[in-house]
Structure 1
């Protein structure tokens, strides 16, 4: 056999073994499943996770469940069928997501949850969430301060199926309810939606024209509420959000929405991928399943440093 023939045979053998000289082989695929990217918070999660996964040598499968547990279940089936190494998940319901995560676990595929917890332990490998209660207390304290410790206000609440909605609301009220001159005249869900928040805010304004403030469970609803207030000529109403989005940052800098609470979505997603990588390689993460990341108050003093759910130095 001549030299060129031997080289060709060797190259074919290497290719069949999964190694081709000059090419880096992917470490496998990591699935990233989140709610809709129409919400910049969830897009930041997906972008952060995908960037870290690619940096660590993985292919990515980026999927969206739109807060539909049935759709999420189908996406898990797709990820399992594709033989992914791990799943990064911002789930579609604390109760409704347990079965899907367990199904993946039973197939040998570990899940790493971000942003939202599920109502079971020992099913996911990691549950990395923002300290929503601590963050809500920061937001509540700022809201009380901005309101001068008095006045009628409304609260916009997120999806009832989302654990975070209740935790944030509780954190707000554990602060605000200490002030007897602060009176909540309306409390309605807008399902984390800017469009719904606009409509809800219009109705609240009609019923309570003397309203002085709005505290919101997330920035998307805060943006919808502020747009409705602005359309009604009520720029005097104090609005505080939660998430730390670029949209609310811009509003704060223009003197619109007054404050938000930053939860580090991008960093959180990257941490989940790092833990997935360690688990894939060693069978353990070295940390507890449930992990909390503290939130940061963002107002006119530091809003200029906010970029894509992170504060620049």
Structure 2
């Protein structure tokens, strides 16, 4: 009787697992979850996949295109039904996505675009240009339309880095009394932003503002400025992280631009589910999500890349 009961329990568990993951495997590949933005993407994708009846596998490429390519091979070998990807390079990511497509596995891009269409099923990204213009307008206002400023740019191979910088400059460059004294890439890194900012401060002690391509770099820049006794310098970021929310509420960083990372990841899984069931998402490949300015007026409503 005990043997029969044990067998029954095992069979029951097998049935439960089969029912929970009836849709098969969805693989989400993102940059490092050390950055809360990317962690939010992974968590959002995993939660929605499980809600819709899929098994979820979270993989990390660390912005290494070669590692990303290997992870695509893993996804293909595992028989993934779909791949959700925040990619490791607008050009370098095309080949593995094409490889997955040939294997019958559709890819749904989030956050970062690639430089080719009709390869991925969807490219769901924040409207980085619109968001950067919001950030640029707030920066100009905070600076009083004048003063020396620094720009910290994201990873050069990332399309978003260029788009955000362009959006900032299309606003800021209209004000001749705003003078950029330094512009450097800190590769989205807080540590690198701190180090770059230290050197910039030594070479340009008279700065009034720093505009950053993401919140992680803004945090690094703010820390370096405070360490140099320049905590009153205006710093603006981009992403809408909880860390920057707290900094804004503390009166340090002045503003950021929210892009809804968690929701975008959820949308990608929802569209993957619809595509797998019907053969179409019913939507265009490229989809833009508008961003929202976050400052002292609404920062208290921000939680995990979403406004309450």
Q: Report the Cα distance in structure 2 between the residues aligned to 1:38 and 1:224, rounded to whole angstroms.
A: 14
Residue number in structure 2 paired with 1:205: 201
Pick from 255, 263, 266 the counterpart of residue 267 of structure 1. 263
1:126-163 CA-partner distances (Å, limit 9, x unpaired): 00000000000000000000000000000000000000
Misfit runs of 4+, over 2 Å: 19-23
Pick from 158, 164, 175 the counterpart of residue 171 of structure 2. 175
Q: Which has the larger radius of gyration?
A: 1
How far residue 23 of structure 1 moved from its aligned partner, in angstroms, is 6.1
Pick from 95, 100, 104 the counterpart of residue 91 of structure 2. 95
Residue number in structure 2 paired with 1:24: 19
How far residue 236 of structure 1 moved from its aligned partner, in angstroms, is 1.4
1:75-129 CA-partner distances (Å, limit 9, x unpaired): 0000000001000000000000000100000000000000000001000000000
Q: Report the Cα distance in structure 1 between the residues aligned to 2:192 and 2:231, rounded to whole angstroms.
A: 19
Q: Structure 1 residue 307 and structure 2 residue 303: aligned? A: yes
Summarize the alignment of residues 134-173 of structure 1 with structure 2, pairs less than 5 Å apart.
134-173=130-169
Q: Report the Cα distance in structure 1 between the residues aligned to 2:148 and 2:200, rounded to whole angstroms.
A: 12
TM-score where L is the length of structure 1: 0.93
Length, aligned pairs only: 299
Residue number in structure 2 paired with 1:196: 192
Structure 1 residues 101 and 21, CA, compared in 2 at 3 Å: closer, same or farther?
closer
Give yes or no for contact 2:143–2:209 (8 Å, CA) kept in 1. yes
Pick from 128, 133, 148 the counterpart of residue 129 of structure 2. 133
For structure 2, the 5+ residue unaligned runs are none
Q: Report the Cα distance in structure 2 between the residues aligned to 1:170 and 1:91, rounded to whole angstroms.
A: 21
Give yes or no for contact 2:232–2:252 (8 Å, CA) kept in 1. no
Pick from 61, 78, 81 the counterpart of residue 82 of structure 1. 78
How far residue 20 of structure 1 moved from its aligned partner, in angstroms, is 3.8
How far residue 206 of structure 1 moved from its aligned partner, in angstroms, is 0.5
User: What secondary structure is seen at the aligned counterpart in 2 of 1:37?
Assistant: coil
Residue number in structure 2 paired with 1:297: 293
User: What secondary structure is seen at the aligned counterpart in 1 of 2:49?
Assistant: helix
| Aligned-residue RMSD, C-alpha | 1.6
Q: Structure 1 residue 235 and structure 2 residue 231: aligned? A: yes
Q: Structure 1 residue 250 and structure 2 residue 246: aligned? A: yes
User: What secondary structure is seen at the aligned counterpart in 2 of 1:222?
Assistant: helix
Summarize the alignment of residues 266-285 of structure 1 with structure 2, pairs less than 5 Å apart.
266-285=262-281
How far residue 227 of structure 1 moved from its aligned partner, in angstroms, is 0.2
How far residue 235 of structure 1 moved from its aligned partner, in angstroms, is 1.0
Give yes or no for contact 2:20–2:50 (8 Å, CA) kept in 1. no
Give yes or no for contact 2:32–2:38 (8 Å, CA) kept in 1. yes
Q: Report the Cα distance in structure 2 between the residues aligned to 1:275 and 1:150, rounded to whole angstroms.
A: 45
Pick from 43, 47, 53 the counterpart of residue 51 of structure 1. 47
1:169-193 CA-partner distances (Å, limit 9, x unpaired): 0000000000010000000000000
Pick from 67, 87, 102 the counterpart of residue 71 of structure 1. 67
Q: Report the Cα distance in structure 2 between the residues aligned to 1:30 and 1:53, rounded to whole angstroms.
A: 7
TM-score where L is the length of structure 2: 0.95
For structure 1, the 5+ residue unaligned runs are none
Pick from 32, 37, 40 the counterpart of residue 36 of structure 1. 32
Q: Structure 1 residue 225 and structure 2 residue 221: aligned? A: yes
User: What secondary structure is seen at the aligned counterpart in 1 of 2:19?
Assistant: coil
Q: Report the Cα distance in structure 1 between the residues aligned to 2:129 and 2:16, rounded to whole angstroms.
A: 52
